[in-house]
Structure 1
Amino acid sequence: MPEKDTMEARWPVELRLSQDKKLLTVTFDNAVAFALPAEYLRVYSPSAEVKGHTPAGRKTVYGKSNVAISSLAQVGNYAVQIIFDDGHDTGYYEWQYLYDLGDDYTRKWAAYLDELAQKHLRREPLFPA
């Protein structure tokens, strides 16, 4: 795992969406690259709808194992808006947030899977397409 860089913010030099639109690879200015699954990005969306306004208000997003990224839109010079094929399009993924999601992927993904298990929720959609 890359060492946490707390001294300066990281900036992306490339965002690359896989052909199936289920993986976003972000390469940063320190040559570190993270391959972030669409499902992971969706369930950790920085939107108020998902994050809530307090830690206790965070929503558990489930049933997104098949979600893909429809498109990306740059927001100024500080973030990217990710539009998902399930219609979710709120929340701006600031560069440092993307870096932190990549850097802490293993822990955050395990915590998400534990949360699903505790709440008896599934990654798979209730009604597959």
Structure 2
Amino acid sequence: MTSERWPTELRLAKDRRSLRVAFDDGTAFDLPAEYLRVTSPSAEVQGHSPAERKTVPGKRDVAIIAVEPVGNYAVKLVFDDLHDTGIYGWDYLYRLGAEQAEKWQAYLDELAAKGLSRDRTR
């Protein structure tokens, strides 16, 4: 399977709170770590069907501690909460960037509907 878009830059911010992804079509996205964590393509978050998808609260302050290549088609992100099972393909990262406003608002709406918070419970 080949991607229609190819990344030309993957850069983790110094504070580890965002990942810059640029593509060969000239688009670039700064994707917050929290957004990447709560939209992880992992089975832990997405489940094995749409009905199993989880709303992940408490990740406002999450950081990315590693960006690991997976072949030539994806990266695995390791977060400081030790979540590391999501494989972010180039098309998925592009879609996350292109649809960020809508996906982020849907996430905020889900949190509110379920009485959950972006902040960690103590």
Which TM-score applies when normalising by structure 2? Answer: 0.97
Question: What does residue 30 of structure 2 align with?
Answer: 35
Shift of 1:14: 0.5
Question: What does residue 111 of structure 1 align with?
Answer: 106
Amino acid across the alignment from 2:106 = A
Q: Percent of aligned positions with the same letter in both sequences?
A: 61
Figure out how many residues of one structure are paired with residues of the other and give that number: 120
Q: 1:47 aligns with which of 42, 46, 56?
A: 42
Amino acid across the alignment from 1:50 = V
- Once the two structures are superposed, residues 32-64 of structure 1 have per-residue CA deviations (whole angstroms, 9 ceiling, x without a partner) of 000000000000000001000110100110100
Q: 1:63 aligns with which of 58, 62, 73?
A: 58
Shift of 1:9: 1.4
Which TM-score applies when normalising by structure 1? Answer: 0.91
Question: What does residue 119 of structure 2 align with?
Answer: 124
Shift of 1:91: 1.5
Query: Alpha carbon RMSD of aligned pairs, Å?
Result: 0.7
Question: What does residue 91 of structure 2 align with?
Answer: 96
Q: Distance in 2 between matches of 1:10 and 1:103?
A: 12
Runs of 4+ aligned residues of structure 1 deviating over 4 Å after TM superposition are: none
Shift of 1:123: 0.1
Question: What does residue 76 of structure 1 align with?
Answer: 71
